[in-house]
Amino acid sequence: MQKRNFGRLGSVSALTLGGGGIGGVWGRTERSEAVATVQAAIDSGITMLDVAPTYGGHEAELVVGEALRARPAPDVLITTKIGLPNEDASDLGELMISSLRASLDRLGRSHADLFLLHSHLRPAGFSSASPPETLGWQRYLDEVVPTFERLRQDGSIRAWGLTGVGHPQAVLDALRAESAIRPDAVQIVVNALDLTGDMWIFGTTDQPRNAELTAAAVQADVSVIGIRAVAAGALSSTIDRPVGSDDPTAADYARAEPFRKLAAEFGESPASLAHRYALTVTDVATVILGVKNRVELTECLAAEARGTLTDAEVRSVLELRG
């Protein structure tokens, strides 16, 4: 598998196994199959596993811990996350530290290679009514960043970053901050139709700016991790879990019908084309897989092996955005 530059952490495989699928976020999977999927991913050349304590109520971290205890892989990078509660919490730093310790216990590791803030950031002076579970800019600067740095200095983590689905201005401010408080990596939505789906919580007065975030990260030498390659299933052949008619994924799936037709013209599945598109986007270090079993993993591995899209194929995809 292709390896790509990953900044402070050296290099990383083009594909990363995410924790959503093996944690049951994207539909039910047996623990034994999830464990086998982790091991198969490592055998295939995947060098990073991306989990979080919220994926399946700790299930993703427990799955990875079980897989690595059975078959140790000390060189595989481990990413986990912290989702901070609303700002009435009195000590965000202690919450971060205690969450990381619990994650490491489940994972069976002494440190995390990458520790990500999973909360939605709000910019300074944000005047609209704040959505729940968002974090203001000043507390990010005063409490979160110093805690990340302390954890790095004491060896509990090797690097830190953001899930860049907060308010775009806040994420841009974080990426453009002075180097001493700049993240090492950022997760950004990267998919063929630029669908952010249910990750967007800031209403209609603002809009996601995923391409701008990617460009800003590259400019700041912050490694980009592509997420939502299949847009929570909207860019797949079918959504293989129950979703309500008012679910953003259902609307995105309907919008993606031309994409499925294009994939058929190219002679591949929509999921394969979606992953190949994400792997083609310049400056994306690695693309997170949301697979929940070895069958889905095999499809994604085949997509990576097939190679990136040609310029003409990329143009065909982008024309679908309208």
Q: Which sequence spans correspond to the domains of the chain? A: 3-319
* 23 vs 239: CA distance, rounded Å: 17
Q: Which residue has the tokens 């481990």?
A: 78
What pLDDT score was predicted for residue 27?
A: 87
What pLDDT score was predicted for residue 180?
A: 83
Residue with the bigger pLDDT between 129 and 141: it is 141
User: Looking at residues 123-137, what average pLDDT do you find?
Assistant: 78
Helix 257-266 with 311-319: angle, nearest 10 deg: 160
Q: What angle do CA 170, 12, 172 make, to 5 degrees?
A: 10
User: Looking at residues 109-131, what average pLDDT do you find?
Assistant: 87
What pLDDT score was predicted for residue 286?
A: 98
User: Looking at residues 200-216, what average pLDDT do you find?
Assistant: 92
Q: Give the whole-number percent of the chain exceeding pLDDT 70.
A: 97
What pLDDT score was predicted for residue 158?
A: 98
Q: Residue 193 pLDDT more than 70?
A: yes
What pLDDT score was predicted for residue 88?
A: 64
What pLDDT score was predicted for residue 127?
A: 67
* 307 vs 320: CA distance, rounded Å: 21
What pLDDT score was predicted for residue 34?
A: 98
User: Looking at residues 303-322, what average pLDDT do you find?
Assistant: 97
Please say whether the beta carbons of 21 and 307 come within 8 A: no
Can you read off the two tokens belonging to residue 179? Answer: 């180097």
Q: Residue 163 pLDDT more than 70?
A: yes
Q: Residue 270 pLDDT more than 90?
A: yes
What pLDDT score was predicted for residue 84?
A: 77
User: Looking at residues 117-127, what average pLDDT do you find?
Assistant: 87
Sequence-separated contacts (24+) of 253-260 with Cβ below 8 Å: 255/193, 255/195, 256/193, 256/195, 256/231, 258/320, 259/192, 259/193, 259/235, 259/317, 259/320
pLDDT, tens digit, 9 for 90 and up, residues 7-39 = 999 999 999 999 999 999 988 899 999 999 999
User: Looking at residues 284-312, what average pLDDT do you find?
Assistant: 98
Q: Where are the beta strands (DSSP E) in 32-102?
A: 48-50, 77-82
pLDDT, tens digit, 9 for 90 and up, residues 66-109 = 999 999 999 999 999 998 766 666 789 999 999 999 999 999 99
Mean pLDDT, all residues of the chain: 94
What pLDDT score was predicted for residue 99?
A: 96
What pLDDT score was predicted for residue 46?
A: 98
Dihedral sign computed on CA atoms, order 44, 50, 53, 56: negative
Strands 11-13 and 3-5: antiparallel
**Which pLDDT band holds residue 322 (cuts at 50, 70, 90)?**
confident
Check if CATH label 3.20.20.100 holds for domain 3-319. Answer: yes
What pLDDT score was predicted for residue 106?
A: 98
What pLDDT score was predicted for residue 124?
A: 87
